[in-house]
Every structure is written in structure tokens, then in C-alpha cells.
Amino acid sequence: MQVKKFEARTMKEALEMVKSQLGPDAIILSARDNNKSFGLVGEGSVEITAAVSEETLQKKKFAESRLREQDREKFLASSARQQKELIHKMVEKHVQKNQPPAPITQRRYIDIEDENEYARQQKMSEERVKNAAQRALYAFQEQEENFQQVRKAAAPAKPAARPAVVPAGDNDEIRALKNEIASLKQVITQFQHMPQSFVGSHPGADYGINYDLSFVFEKLTKSGVAPEIAADILTQAQETLPTLKLKNKSLVEAWVARYVLDTTKIVQNPTAGKIHCFVGPAGSGKTSTMIKMASQLVVRERKKVALFTTDTFKVGAADQMKIYAQILNVPFSVIRSQNDWSNLMRYLANVDCVLVDFTGLSLKNNDEINVLRSLLPPQGLNANIHLTMSTNTKDADAIELGRRYSVLGYRDVIFSGLDESTQHGTIYNFMKRFDIPLHSFGIGSRVPEDFEFATKERLLDLIFKITQFKQQDSEAV
């Protein structure tokens, strides 16, 4: 599926751009007005996000390639209905021309589109197995009866005075045969009560997902989305979309993409507030993310920034932060206790943002929790606490870290190392489970280029891998 953004002065122009580039079958995912004068040529504009399947886009390109230049201009200027009719006719004509002669007989191996027929065949298979097991049981019973009759006929007549003596060897052989028949009866009885299925289940079947949606379930889980979250999304798709539309892969994929956009939470104003604290485990990218954000605020937004650090545990951490502050030409200080805040903030009344780097702790015990709490700004300063995590963090570890750091009251989450992972669905998992918005993303090692504030479209792109992942250079406008 191809997803693109289009920006124009009016909605009509934007829709014409969608029709020209993606074709008349494109699906509009979102539309919004840019009223902050940062659109085209500094004026207000309209932004549309649209999607179209690869197959439909290829049909449009094929139709355009067969038209002459003057006919192509008429084609682009025509209405969406006329374009669809022309594309359909040209594709049908090409298919009929290149289609080989039909065979005398044609029979599909299995009709996966007919769910009732599938269920009927599975039930017939189970009945055949049960019948076969029942016949085998009857055969064993008949064999045992015949064996008993033969043994009675071959036994000598019993004298009236004393019973006949049977050799010990014969008793052992009969007893062994009886035990063997009894064990066979038990095996067959157990086999009859076992559910019989000879057809492999499709992806998502364990969660009650329809076969027609299995391709989306597999795509989401391969991107790192947790199976239970992917199943919840597709369960809602099953309940919302008509049964016939579930067989339209492009429509289903567009519905899921729209659902991800609607349920993704992002921070509306990521630079709001004066104090921004970056917390998280060691190696999560807190320091590099903080420096990238500080560089962006200084270089691109022309804001006055101050850098603080509380990391007095790691050797050289404070010195490294001091060097960064000198490069950016901003104030720098070390926080050793909560009492330092009142003195420092008195001298920073004219600073727009204060970014604070906290030491990386796992918070496995109360001592580490108390250390971080003792360094946090007082409640009256209303600081923004950002939890920073690496995209490479395993899903189970991310849940545990989110639970531990919840005692600090973080308001949002930052994910770093987007270029180092292919499982970007973990970002969506964390946001859904803890119901907190996304603040920003760290992409690589460059400062400040490899940093961006989170958007819904960016997360959708990462999960569906719509465009090839690359580091984006954002130049100041």
C-alpha cells in the first residue's frame, strides 16, 4: 500500500493532486487545515493523507503508459469515474489479449472463500475418523469373542470329581493377549474423544481472526505489534466491516491504517513548559536525545536553553554535558540535591527551557527510587518528565520498565534508536498499554538532524513500512 501526503492552498487542489498521482481509487485517510502560516509560500494550506494499493496504482500507471501525450492530458483532466472506466477497460483488454486458452476442465483444489463449505468438509473429516475408529473397536471386540469361543471348544471336558488342570504357560499367554486387547481398547476410546483437525490454522486463528484478515495479522506481528493488540484491532475490523468487504485486502489494510492513526496519541505541544526531565534506564539514549532537542531549540527555534545534569555516578558524565553546553553556548549546572533547584531557577528567570539529564537506573529497589525522587524538581515547578526508551527494548522488558518508572509520574515517552530496529510495533504497544502519548523519536547519531517530534503518520509509516526507512535531514526554513 502506498501512503502519501499532499499539501495545497485549497481542498479542491489537494484532491486533484491525489487523483493525479494515486488515481481515482485512492482512499483519504486524513485531512487538516494548516492555519499557522507555515504551508505553501507562507500561507494557510490544506494537507491530505491518502492511500492506494500497489495493484491499483500499477493499473493506473499501465493505463497512462498506453496513452498518447494529448490523450494523457485529457485523461488527467477527466472525472474520477471516467478515469476508473478507462483504466478498467484497458486492463481488461490487455488481460484478455494475453490470457492463454482455458483448459477443458477446471477445478480448484480448495475453496477457501466459502467458510460454510470449509466447515462442512472439516466436519466430514472428523466423522470419517470417528467411524473408522468405531469400526476398529468392533473388529477387536469380534476378534476377542471368536478367540473365547475357540478356547472353549479346544478345552478338555471337566471331570465331575476334579477340575481340569490348564498348563501355566497357556494361562500366561491368554492373560498377555487380554492385557494387549484392553490397552488397544483404551487407546481407541481416547482417540475417539480427541478433536480431529487435519487443516493447519491460519495466523490469528487462535484469537478468532477471520482467514481473510490473517495477512494483516501477520504483517502487524512481524512489525512488532503484540499478537493480542493486533487481534483486538482486527476483531473491531470484523465487527465494523461487512463480510464481503473483508475479502478486499486494500480496503482492510486502509481501515487498519486509519484505526492506527486514530488511536495513536502524540504530545500536541512537545516544547511546552519550562523544565524538561529525561529519565530512563542506562543505555536508553537519554543524554543524546536531550542534546538533540536542545540543539533544535537553540538553532531552529532561537530559544534560550539551559542544561542540567544529575548524573554524578558515572565517571565523566558531568564533564561531557559541560562540553555540550559550551558548544551550544548555554548555561550549565549540576544538581546534587533538591535544594539546588530553588537557587538555580532564581538565576534562570529569562531562560525559555531547562533540560535535565538524569542518571540511568533500573529502579529495582527502593534506594534507587528514593535517589531519583530526591533529585526531581519540586512540585511547584511543574516539570515535564519524559521517559526515554530504546526501540530495541523487548516488549516484556518495556512493560516492566514502564511499570517501575510510573512512580516518577512521567507524562509521555521518547523512543530512541529507530534506525537500529525493525520491530517498531513495540512503540504502539507501549503507548496502548500505558495510555500515554508519544513525545519524540531519536533516529541516529547526528545532532540535531536525527531528532523529530512524534507524529501519527510517522508511526504508521514505521509499522507498515510504507516508505523505505532512512534518516531524514530537517533543514531550518
Model confidence at 290: pLDDT above 60: yes
Instruction: Please tell me whether residues 413 and 282 are part of one structural domain.
Output: yes
For 73-127, what is each residue's pLDDT tens digit? 787 788 878 888 888 888 888 777 776 655 544 444 444 444 556 566 667 766 7
Same domain flag for 216 and 82: no
Band of residue 269 on the pLDDT scale cut at 50, 70, 90: very high
Whether the per-residue pLDDT at 474 is higher than 80: the answer is: no
91 occurs within a structural domain: yes
User: Residue 122: inside a domain, yes or no?
Assistant: no
Q: Is residue 177 part of a domain?
A: no
Max intra-chain CA distance, the chain: 124
Q: Is residue 390 part of a domain?
A: yes
Same domain, residue pair 232 and 362: no
C-alpha 336: how far from chain center: 41
Residues 386 and 240 in one domain: no
Cα separation, 455 vs 465, whole angstroms = 15
Own/partner contacts of 362-367, CB < 8 Å, gap of 24 or more, are 362/281, 362/282, 362/401, 362/404, 363/404, 363/405, 363/407, 364/404
Same domain (yes/no): 332, 381: yes
Same domain for 237 and 280, yes or no, is: no
**SS3 at position 443:** coil
Q: Is residue 287 part of a domain?
A: yes
| CB-count exposure of residue 337 (10 Å: 0-12, 13-18, 19+) | exposed
Pair (301, 237) in one structural domain: no
Residue 387 within any structural domain of the chain: yes
Q: Where are the beta strands (DSSP E) in 19-170?
A: 27-34, 45-52
At 440, which CATH number? 3.40.50.300
Name the band, by pLDDT with cuts 50, 70 and 90, for residue 195: low
Number of domains composing the chain: 3
Could you tell me if residue 453 is inside a domain?
A: yes
Reply yes or no on whether the pLDDT at 159 is more than 80: no
Give the strands of the sheet with 45-52, arranged side by side.
2-8, 45-52, 27-34
Contacts of 373 by beta carbon, 8 Å cutoff, 6+ apart:
407, 408
376/426 same-domain check: yes
The one-character DSSP state at 106 is -
Which three three-digit cell numbers place residue 261?
492513526
Claim to verify: residue 432 and residue 318 sit in the same structural domain: yes
Predicted confidence (pLDDT) per residue in 213-264, tens digit? 999 999 999 999 999 999 999 999 999 999 889 999 999 999 999 999 999 9
Q: Which one of 98, 122, 149 terminates a domain?
A: 98
Co-location of 239 and 281 in the same domain: no
The string of pLDDT tens digits covering residues 22-43 is 888 888 877 777 765 444 445 6
Residue 392 sits in the same domain as residue 428? yes
Q: Would you say 399 and 433 are in contact if contact means Cβ atoms under 8 Å apart?
A: yes
Judge whether 55 lies within some domain.
yes
Q: Is the preceding omega at residue 270 within 30 degrees of 0, hence cis?
A: no
Helices (H), 360-473: 366-375, 395-405, 425-434, 456-464
Q: Please identify, among 64, 98, 132, the residue that sits at the C-terminal boundary of a domain.
A: 98
Which domain range does residue 232 map to? Answer: 205-263
Same domain, 281 and 224: no
Confirm if 183 and 196 have CB atoms less than 8 A apart. Answer: no
When pLDDT is averaged across residues 276-300 and rounded to a whole number, the result is 93
Give the residue from 98, 125, 141 where a domain finishes: 98
Which residue shows C-alpha cell 493532486? 17
